[in-house]
Amino acid sequence: MSSSTSSEVVVRTRHLGKAYQLYAHRSDWLKQVMFGTWKTYYKPFWVLRDIDLDVYRGDSIGILGRNGCGKSTLLQVICGMTLPSNGELRVTGRVAPVLALGATFDAELSGRENIMIGGAVMGLSRSEVLEKFDSMAEFAGIGDYMEQPVKHYSMGMRTRLAFAICAHVEAEILVVDEALAVGDAAFQRKCLDWIDSFRRKGTLLFVSHSPAEVRRLCNRAIWIEDGRIRSQGEPSVVIRAYHRAMAMEKDDIHRFSVSE
């Protein structure tokens, strides 16, 4: 198991919060745009609250929590997919977000064309993408589907394509959000082996419901509950506490309620 020996912080959050604006009626959104200076027409739904986190270069962090607790939103904020509602965020280094790239594929374009676009989004030049294309195609392993529109892909095939791009951008920070769950067993092993190699030189943020994967790949674990960090530390200790809570504490559906 790798462990961070660097004192350099590559991701830092302070009092980070994220709230979505929920509208009771479609017309309320327009009212908010036009008259929001004087009156609020939405209810805030707080997904993240007061997150303080330091990720050091070389860390491999597994993120645990119930569905809807804020795990994916935290990664989306770190990747720049959505802005925090309050607090501070600093990210240093190129980020390869497996969760984001697959979600932004153009369904009408082919796998090849999406590789060209995805590579550019990740900061690669056209010549660099062309140089790496054969290796990306081999990693994805989708054969002739590479020339077909992505709208014909299964979720597993989209994940293969996204992971293939992220595996070739030479990023400093890799963000994986349960992406392996939709892949077949052979591809999961392939990705886990690659992540295992990456974490020896890079920084990993990894959301998974598999305790075995977190134990294998991570030197730290973070447990998020109701948008807050409930516990963090050595993976086995955090996983044990998390599973104990899942067995003894009732799942509170009120965590999905909108605050007044």
Largest distance between two CA atoms of the chain: 57
* pLDDT range class, residue 1, cuts 50, 70, 90: very low
Q: Which pLDDT score, from 0 to 100, does residue 246 have?
A: 86
| Cα separation values, 111 from 43, 76, 117, 124, 156, Å | 40, 24, 10, 17, 13
Q: Which pLDDT score, from 0 to 100, does residue 259 have?
A: 53
What residues does each domain of the chain span?
Answer: 1-30+42-93+172-260, 106-170
For the chain, how many residues are written? 260
Look at the domain 1-30+42-93+172-260 and name its fold.
Rossmann fold (3.40.50)
Cβ atoms 140, 161 nearer than 8 A: yes
**Least trusted range by pLDDT, from 22-31, 46-55, 224-233, 248-257:** 248-257
* pLDDT range class, residue 2, cuts 50, 70, 90: very low
Q: Which pLDDT score, from 0 to 100, does residue 221 have?
A: 95
3-state secondary structure of 228: strand
Cβ atoms 167, 139 nearer than 8 A: yes
Neighbours of 252 (CB within 10 A): 11
Q: Which residue has the higher pLDDT, 256 or 44?
A: 44
pTM of the entire predicted model? 0.81
Q: Which pLDDT score, from 0 to 100, does residue 252 have?
A: 64
* pLDDT range class, residue 133, cuts 50, 70, 90: very high
**C-alpha to C-alpha distance for 17 and 164, rounded to whole angstroms:** 32
* pLDDT range class, residue 216, cuts 50, 70, 90: confident
Digit-coded pLDDT (tens) for 45-60? 899 999 999 999 999 9
Digit-coded pLDDT (tens) for 11-27? 999 999 999 988 888 88
Beta partners for residue 95, in sequence order: 173
3-state secondary structure of 95: strand
Digit-coded pLDDT (tens) for 175-201? 888 766 666 778 888 888 888 888 888
Digit-coded pLDDT (tens) for 63-109? 999 888 899 899 989 988 889 999 999 999 888 887 656 667 899 99
